[in-house]
Amino acid sequence: MFKVPSELKQGFKYCYDGRNTGLDTLLNIKGYYTMRSIRGFYPLKPNKAYYSSNNIYNRNYDYNTIKNIDTSNIYLLLYPDGTFLFNFFPSHHQENINNYFKQIIETTNKREKNIFYKAYRWGSYIVSNDTIKAQWFNIPRSLNDHWYGGEIWFKIISTNEIQEIDHPKSSELKEKAKKEGIATFKSLPAKFTPVEVLPTPDAKLKEEDWFWCKPRDLKETKSR
């Protein structure tokens, strides 16, 4: 029902093979990282909204002014096998992340597990010297949703801290956001928080053949 766009598969650079990346020798990953994302909004110029000749609604923004600057928490998980989870959050009835992870592990509620493993943005990462290069994907869950993905790089600052850095498409993405009236800023360093237990990285995404470096890697995992 939800076919993966060919351009999304072709743009996937950090294929998954399930092998240890060695990141746990450089960084504490038996827990989660909290990154503070910062953004604001450019106000519309008065009386400057118009329809173009091709009937696309355009807005002229005042790029000299930024309003409603706000920060939000983005939670990250980096597993030793190269699995990456971007921007998960506890369920509405469980504010403590440590307890939330315990609930995911212990629950027999399939809906709760499905939300964690299917609804969030899972992906993979590689380690290049002191840099973590990661890609994540959104798996559609309804007819109103669709496949899309993103890329994010981090520089390892210490064993408990990573900093988002620019990657080759950063300028393009910032310019796209600007045209939509969104002002983006460099995120604050992501800080580590240890937890007692971590849910296994059994992401729904791993059922996709294209996610794996080699088809046999997927077959070997399924046969275990």
Q: What is the pLDDT of residues 137-180, one digit of tens each?
A: 988 877 777 888 999 999 999 999 999 998 878 788 788 888 88
The pLDDT of residue 101 is 92
The pLDDT of residue 94 is 59
Q: Is the dihedral of CA 105, 102, 25, 152 positive or negative?
A: positive
Q: What is the pLDDT of residues 92-137, one digit of tens each?
A: 655 789 989 998 888 877 767 778 898 899 999 999 999 999 999 9
What's the predicted TM-score (pTM) here? Answer: 0.84
The pLDDT of residue 62 is 82
Residues paired with residue 51 on neighbouring β-strands, in sequence order: 57
Residue 61 CA to residue 180 CA, distance in Å, equals 9
The pLDDT of residue 97 is 92
